[in-house]
Amino acid sequence: MKPKLNPAVLTLTAALSCLFSVAVIAQESGQLARRAYLGVQVGALTEAQQRFTDYGLNIVNVFPDSTASVYNLQQGEVILQANGRRLNTPSDLPEELAGLRSGASVEFLLLREGIEQRITASLQGFPRESYEAAAVHYSSVLTGTGQQRTILTIPDDQSRPPVVYILQGFDCSSVDMALNPNNSMALLVDQLNSAGFATYRVEKSGRGDSVGVPCSEIGFNAETAGFAAGLEALSNSSMIDSDRIYLLGISLGGIWAPVLAEQSQLAGIISFGTIAKTWPEYMYDNWRRQWSLAGKSLASVDRDLKLANQFWYQLIHQALSPQQIFQDFEHIAPLAPALGYAEEGQLLFGRHFSFVRELAQTNVMEYWEAVNVPTLVLWGRGDYVASEEDQQLIVDVLDANEVDVELQYLNTDHYWREASDFETAYRGLRSGQRAPISDEVYAAIIEWLTATG
């Protein structure tokens, strides 16, 4: 059964169109306000429109149940200004609206049939998730970085059901799936609800409705504390069975699962495609695997891994920033693109370098050694992002401690799409021809939860 979700998002494009939703960083009476939502798709001016104006954004589409539809914005009209700011490029509109919440007023200058018209719009809130078989409860927790959105779904006709706390991966993507009905996480939530399990998610700092330090500026330890605050709140909730809390760690979330397990008595842990080695060791393995798939010669792979070894040493053990490293060791600078380095914000792979440094200093296996609850380890045969060896290391340490653990192999890639080998998954992702999301992951999770519970 697929979730019934509201199907719109304010979209912009550097060329014609891409998805964009206005962020909210505000709260009312201790509760998080919903982030604001305009609900238009815009693009470059047409030749006909350019006869009337040399700036502005063409409205390509207006989504139902949005601020734009309430104020009767129409396809083919032009948004010239927002709060007096001329809109010259697609990024101007989200920049002007960023940080606004439901109820905020914005003055737009429109071009309608060649005539300028001003309207003042009261922005509606972002749509809420909606599922056929469950109720959705939005709340929040106070953390060291601010106030973070929590989303709890409770299956219909269920009193205090078991709950699966879903821990997302490395990046700063929102876990609010109101506008992504075909997203793998939205489908996971729906299928868990249909099987009688509640689900729980915590937005990362500054993402979605969350108020506080932006996700891209915090470290691994602060992010861990946010997830821990969410687990504490969940454990005290009267809506779920606190004796049957399961952690589902996806990708890097599989590191947070054993870390959080020290905080609370759990019913079990599930991990998918996670990391068990030290961060630099994982990166060496991952780079060698992916660079080889990309066709790099073994000699060039070895040369770049030597640079990586020097980079990690300076970052982790000498406590230098990436900027300092690239300035003081110019021969390492060619590695910057592979690190996803952005000088502005001092980012590595989209996260502040302190996040990567703290992650590298975390002894993951030390936390797994302390786990004493049933555990399911999942890995896809097409998962070239996480290695099979890491999953086996988790199984080995739990086996040694006589913990009930199971390793299952699936025909998926790291993103739960159908793939039976690295080459197929890699080619599909790089070509943009993505395979369908696999039902194997959902089936494996639900079967194990049902048997364990």
Residues 6+ apart with CB under 8 A from 172: 204, 206, 207, 214, 215, 216, 350, 351
Per-residue pLDDT, 99: 82
What is the token pair recorded at 78? 């032009």
Q: Is residue 338 part of a domain?
A: yes
Q: Is residue 1 part of a domain?
A: no
Residues 118 and 210 in one domain: no
Instruction: Find the helix or strand (DSSP H, E) in which 268 lies.
Output: strand 268-272
The boundaries of the domain holding residue 296 are: 279-360
Residues 332 and 447 in one domain: no
Mean pLDDT per 10-residue section of the chain, whose length is 453 residues: 31 24 33 91 92 94 92 95 93 86 95 93 94 95 96 95 98 93 93 97 96 96 97 96 97 98 93 97 96 95 96 97 97 96 95 97 97 98 97 98 98 96 89 89 98 88
Radius of gyration of the chain (CA): 23
Per-residue pLDDT, 310: 97
Residues 210 and 320 in one domain: no
Number of structural domains in the chain: 3
Per-residue pLDDT, 396: 98
Per-residue pLDDT, 9: 27
What is the token pair recorded at 431? 């070509």
Residues 250 and 355 in one domain: no
Residues 356 and 372 in one domain: no
Per-residue pLDDT, 1: 36
Residues 271 and 370 in one domain: yes
Is residue 164 within 8 A of residue 419, CB to CB? The reply is: no
Per-residue pLDDT, 20: 30
Is residue 96 within 8 A of residue 148, CB to CB? The reply is: no
Helical H segments across 59-163, by residue range: 67-70, 92-97
Q: Is residue 16 part of a domain?
A: yes
Per-residue pLDDT, 434: 83
Domain end (from 125, 147, 178): 125
Residues 242 and 175 in one domain: yes
Q: Is residue 431 part of a domain?
A: yes
Long-range residue pairs from 188-192, CB within 8 A, at least 24 positions apart, any chain: 188/441, 188/442, 188/445, 189/3, 189/129, 189/131, 189/134, 189/153, 190/1, 190/2, 190/3, 190/131, 190/132, 190/133, 190/134, 191/1, 191/442, 191/446, 192/164, 192/445, 192/446, 192/449
What is the token pair recorded at 76? 């083919």
Residues 266 and 379 in one domain: yes
Cα distance between the two ends of the chain:
23
Domain end (from 312, 343, 360): 360
Domain end (from 125, 159, 190): 125
Q: Is residue 284 part of a domain?
A: yes
Residues 175 and 249 in one domain: yes
Per-residue pLDDT, 453: 76
Q: What is the C-alpha separation between 374 and 334, in angstroms, rounded? A: 45
